[in-house]
Amino acid sequence: MTTAESNTIIGVGVDRVDGPRKVTGAAPYPSDFSYDGLAHAVLVQSTIAAGTISRIETEDSEAAPGVLTVVTHDNSPALADGPITPLGPSPPTPFRDNRILHHGQHVAIVVAQTQEQATAAARSVRIEYQQSTPILGIENPDAAVLRNPWGLELHRGDAEAALASAEVVYDETFATAAETNNPMGLFATVACWEKNRLTVHDCTQWPVMVRQTLAAVFDLPESDVRVLVPYLGGGFGAGLRAWPHVILAALAARLVDRPVKVVLTRPQMFTSIGHRAQSRQRVRLGSTKDGRLVAIDHEGTSTLGVEDFNIDPITMTTGSAYACPNVATHDRLVRLNIASPGAMRGPGKVEGNFAIESALDELSYELGVDPIELRLRNYAEVHPQSGLPWSSNALRDCYRVGAERFDWRRRDPAVGSMREGHWLVGYGAAGVTFGSYQAPCQARITVERNGTALVRSAATDIGTGTYTIATQLTAELLGLEIGQVKIEIGDSDLPPAPQSGGSGLAMSHSAAIHDAAGNLVRAFLDLVADDENSPLRGNAPSDVGCAAGRVHLLEDPAAGESYTEILARHALNEITADGRADLETGRGDSATSAFAAHFVEVRIDKDLGLLRIARVVSTIDAGRVLNEKTARSQIIGGVVMGIGMATLEETIFESATGRIANATFGDYLIPVNADVPDIDVIFVGGPDSFSPVGIKGLGEIGVVGVAAAVANAVYHATGRRFRSLPITVDQLL
C-alpha cells in the first residue's frame, strides 16, 4: 500500500471541517449539554489560605428556594483518591477533611433547580475558620522543598570542573511569574447517573484519564464511566487533569439522583484548574573566548501546592539543546499554600528556555559574537546526551531562513543604536529544541458500502485541528475525498487515545490512523484473495495503492475496484479495521525533536516606557506539516501567548493572604489585537523518519522561545537586561 509520501491532500491548507458547525453555533461544548430534570450546582470556596474549618452552617442555604442539597466535608461520603496517571498523581480529592490548603479551595457545593437559585443559596453558606499562617512566596524559608522530585536530573561530564577552568564564565538568575491558562470558554461539567453508570460531559483534553479517575474515586469499573467532549473551548493544558469540580459534579448528581451541571465562574477558573507555576532559575555557562560552550549548569525552582504533585521540570530540555560536553541540571519544587499549578502550554520548557536563551544572548554580547552565530557554533550535530543522530533536524535552516526573512543583517550590533523617531528599536532572537514523543493510541476505521469512511478514537480536538488533519490523513491513505470521511472523537467509549497535550496527540493519533488504514486495505485484499472476479486477487498490500475511492494495482492503476464494489459483491455493509501506535520515545537508532527559531523586533518609547512588539518571524521544523493553515494558526496562537508571558501576564498572589488579586479579565492582562503584530510563520525541514506519517508535533514550539526573543530585543534596544518576566512599563521607565 502506498503511504502519505506522495500526498495530494496532506499538507494542503484545508479549511477546518468542523468550522461550519462552530461558526453557526451547532458545535456542542460541554456546557451546552442538558438532560430532563437537570439541576445546577455552584461551588463555595474558602476565603483563607491555610487553617481548618471549625464550623460550617448550611441551614439557611438548604432552606432557600429550589435548593436540593448542600454538600460539605461534614456530610460528604468518603471518596477514594484518584489514580496515578502518565502525567503524575491526580489532584487531592475534595472534601476529605476540614483542612484548608489554599485560598479558593472548594468547601461546599450547593445544588438547586436553577443556576440562579444555586448562586443565591451559595451566598448563605456561613463558614468559621481556625486560621493559621499560610506559607507563601517562592523564597519562603519555611516552605518544604522537594529536590529532584522526578529523578530527571542530568549530569554529563563534570560541569563544576569545566566552569572552574572556563575562559569565560556567566552566572545569573532569572524569574518568571505565575500565569493562568484562561481559555475563553468557562470550564463546565455535566454529570448524569443511570443506576451505576456515570456519563460526564467535561472540559477535558483527555477523556480516557477522566474516566479512569472517576472510576477510581467512585469505585466503579471503567466500563461504567463515559466521558464526552466532542468540542472544547480552549484548554492550553488546563484540561489535562481531573480537577476536584469534576468529581463534585458527579458526587452531587449521585446524591440528588438527577443530572447536575457545574460551570466555573471566571474567578474560580483561576483557583480550580491550575496555572503555570512561578519559577526561579540560576544559569551558569562556561565558554571559550570564541564562543564554544564547555559547561552548562541550570538550576530550576518552581512552586507547588501543599499536597499536590505536578510534573513540569524546568530544565528538562537544557541538556539536548546545544553541543556541550559538561552539563548539569537540577530541579526542585517549593510547597506553598496556593491553588495547585498544572500544565500550561509548553510547561517547564517555556520557563527553562527563557533563562537559557537569555543567558546565551548575554554571553554573545560579552564575547562580541552575533547571537545567531553563537548558537550555530554550538549546534548539536547529534543528540548531545545519547550521541544518537537526529531523526531529522532543520534548526540550522530555522536560523538561516528566519534571519533572511527577518532581515537580521540590518541589525546594528551596538546596543541602543537603532532608532526610529522617538522609538528605540531592538532585534532579538531565540532558538527552540522541544523534543517529541509518541504515546499509545488506537483508532478504528470503518468503510461503508456507500464508500464513506468513519474514523473513531477517544482523541480530542482542543481547537488545534484534530478533526481536520485526521480527515485529511484518512482521505489520503484510503484514496477518498475530504467529504467522504467522518471523524468521531472526544468519547472515552471509543478506542483509547492519549491526552491532547505535550505536542504529541497528532503524532500518536496519526500513527494509529496510518496503521488502521493499512490494516483496512489488508482486510479488503483478504476478502478478495480467492475472488476470481477481482483484479486484486492474490495481491499483497505492497502491490496496491488507493485513489478515487478504489484499490488499484501499482503496476497497472487501471486494474482495481472500488470499496463499494467489493462490499456489494460480498454482501457486506462495511469493513472495519483497528490500528494502534505504541509507546515510543525513540527507536533506539535516532533521537527526535521539533525545532524552531523566533525573531522579534520591539519598539520602546524612551520617554513613556511603552513596549510594542513590531513584528515576529517564526521558523518551524515540525517534520511534515499535515495542514499548513491549521499549523500556522497554532504557531500564531503560541506566539501570542509568548508575547503575553513576556510583557503582560502575571497571576498575583497576595503576599499575606494567598488570595489571587487579579482573578478577572478586567485585572489579568492578556494580549489583545492591539498588542499583536503581523506574525510571519515559515515551515522548514521535511518528513521525519520517527513517525510513519513524518510529523513531529508543533502545538507548543510556537510559544517556547518567544519570551526570550522579546527580552533579548529589549536589551538590544535599551541596554537594560530584564531577567524577570513580565517586562512592564514601570520597569522600562
Q: What is the mean pLDDT of residues 58-76?
A: 98
Residues 6+ apart with CB under 8 A from 545: 1, 2, 479, 551, 552, 553, 554, 557
In the beta sheet, which residues pair with residue 61? none
Q: Among 581, 616, 651, give the residue marking a domain's end.
A: 581
| pLDDT for the residue numbered 135 | 98
Q: What is the mean pLDDT of residues 15-40?
A: 96
What whole-number distance in Å separates Cα of residue 262 and Cα of residue 41?
A: 5
Number of H helices, E strands in the chain: 17, 31
Q: Are 297 and 328 in contact (CB under 8 A)?
A: yes
**Residue written as cell 503496476?**
555
What whole-number distance in Å separates Cα of residue 716 and Cα of residue 718?
A: 6
Structural domain of 506: 4-27+438-581
The residues assigned a catalytic role are 700
Q: What is the mean pLDDT of residues 613-636?
A: 97
Joined together, the cell numbers standing for residue 229 give 467532549
Answer yes or no: is pLDDT of 3 > 80: no
End-to-end C-alpha distance for the chain, whole angstroms:
64
Triad 594, 695, 208: Cα angle to 5°: 95
Kindly indicate the confidence band of residue 312, based on its pLDDT and cuts at 50, 70 and 90: confident
Domain membership of residue 260 (yes or no) is: yes
Using alpha carbons, list the distances in angstroms from residue 379 to 155, 230, 433, 502, 664.
Answer: 19, 42, 11, 24, 43
Joined together, the cell numbers standing for residue 728 give 512592564
Task: Please say whether the dihedral angle defined by the alpha carbons of residues 397, 400, 401 and 406, taken in this order, is positive or negative.
Answer: positive
What whole-number distance in Å separates Cα of residue 695 and Cα of residue 688?
A: 6
Domain membership of residue 110 (yes or no) is: yes
Q: Are 728 and 610 in contact (CB under 8 A)?
A: no
Domain membership of residue 639 (yes or no) is: yes
Q: What is the mean pLDDT of residues 252-269?
A: 98
Three-class DSSP category at 322: coil
Using alpha carbons, list the distances in angstroms from residue 343 to 160, 180, 273, 338, 348.
Answer: 32, 10, 9, 15, 8
Q: Among 272, 291, 326, give the residue marking a domain's end.
A: 272
Joined together, the cell numbers standing for residue 618 give 517564526
What whole-number distance in Å separates Cα of residue 303 and Cα of residue 310?
A: 9
Report residue 68: phi and psi, to 5°: -100, -40
Q: Are residues 546 and 623 in the same domain?
A: no
Q: Are residues 632 and 515 in the same domain?
A: no
Kindly indicate the confidence band of residue 7, based on its pLDDT and cuts at 50, 70 and 90: low
Answer yes or no: is pLDDT of 705 > 70: yes
Q: Are residues 309 and 384 in the same domain?
A: yes
Tell me the percentage of the chain whose pLDDT exceeds 90.
Answer: 95
Which H or E run contains 692? none
Q: Are residues 406 and 448 in the same domain?
A: no
Answer yes or no: is pLDDT of 626 > 50: yes
Joined together, the cell numbers standing for residue 708 give 526570550
pLDDT digits (tens, 9 = 90+) for 346-363: 999 999 999 999 999 999
| pLDDT for the residue numbered 8 | 76
What whole-number distance in Å separates Cα of residue 487 and Cα of residue 453?
A: 9
**Any idea what the CATH number is for the domain that residue 561 is in?**
3.30.365.10
Q: Are residues 11 and 75 in the same domain?
A: no
Could you write out the DSSP letters of every residue in 383-396? -TTT-PBBS---HH
Q: Are residues 299 and 387 in the same domain?
A: yes
Q: Are residues 324 and 385 in the same domain?
A: yes
Asked if the peptide bond before residue 726 counts as cis, ω within 30 degrees of 0, the response is yes
Output b/e per residue, 213-237; b: 16+ Cβ within 10 A: bbbbbbeeeeebbbbbbbbbbbbbb
In the beta sheet, which residues pair with residue 602? 426, 613
Answer yes or no: is pLDDT of 383 > 90: yes
What whole-number distance in Å separates Cα of residue 551 and Cα of residue 221?
A: 42
Q: Are residues 563 and 619 in the same domain?
A: no
Q: Are 353 and 702 in contact (CB under 8 A)?
A: no
Q: Are residues 70 and 211 in the same domain?
A: yes
Q: Among 566, 581, 596, give the residue marking a domain's end.
A: 581
Q: Are residues 93 and 215 in the same domain?
A: yes
| pLDDT for the residue numbered 588 | 72
Tally of CB atoms within 10 A around 667: 11
Q: Which of 49, 47, 44, 50 is nearest to 73 (CA)?
A: 44
Domain membership of residue 159 (yes or no) is: no
Q: Are 150 and 331 in contact (CB under 8 A)?
A: yes
What whole-number distance in Å separates Cα of residue 113 and Cα of residue 71?
A: 15
Burial of 535 (0-12, 13-18, 19+ CB in 10 A): middle
Q: Which of 56, 149, 146, 70 is nearest to 100 (CA)?
A: 56
Q: Are 70 and 109 in contact (CB under 8 A)?
A: yes
Domain membership of residue 143 (yes or no) is: no
Kindly indicate the confidence band of residue 433, based on its pLDDT and cuts at 50, 70 and 90: very high
How many domains are there within the chain?
Answer: 3
**Residue written as cell 432552606?**
63
Q: What is the mean pLDDT of residues 144-157?
A: 90
Q: What is the DSSP letter of 73?
A: T
Q: Are residues 431 and 443 in the same domain?
A: no
Domain membership of residue 165 (yes or no) is: no
Domain membership of residue 341 (yes or no) is: yes
What whole-number distance in Å separates Cα of residue 561 and Cα of residue 535?
A: 7
Q: Are residues 237 and 290 in the same domain?
A: no
Task: Please say whether the dihedral angle defined by the alpha carbons of residues 465, 471, 474 and 478, taken in this order, is positive or negative.
Answer: negative
What whole-number distance in Å separates Cα of residue 242 and Cα of residue 212?
A: 9
Tell me the percentage of the chain whose pLDDT exceeds 70.
Answer: 98
Domain membership of residue 152 (yes or no) is: no
Answer yes or no: is pLDDT of 427 > 70: yes
Q: Mean pLDDT score of the chain, rounded to an integer?
A: 96
pTM of the model: 0.97
pLDDT digits (tens, 9 = 90+) for 215-249: 999 999 999 999 999 999 899 999 999 999 999 99
| pLDDT for the residue numbered 1 | 55
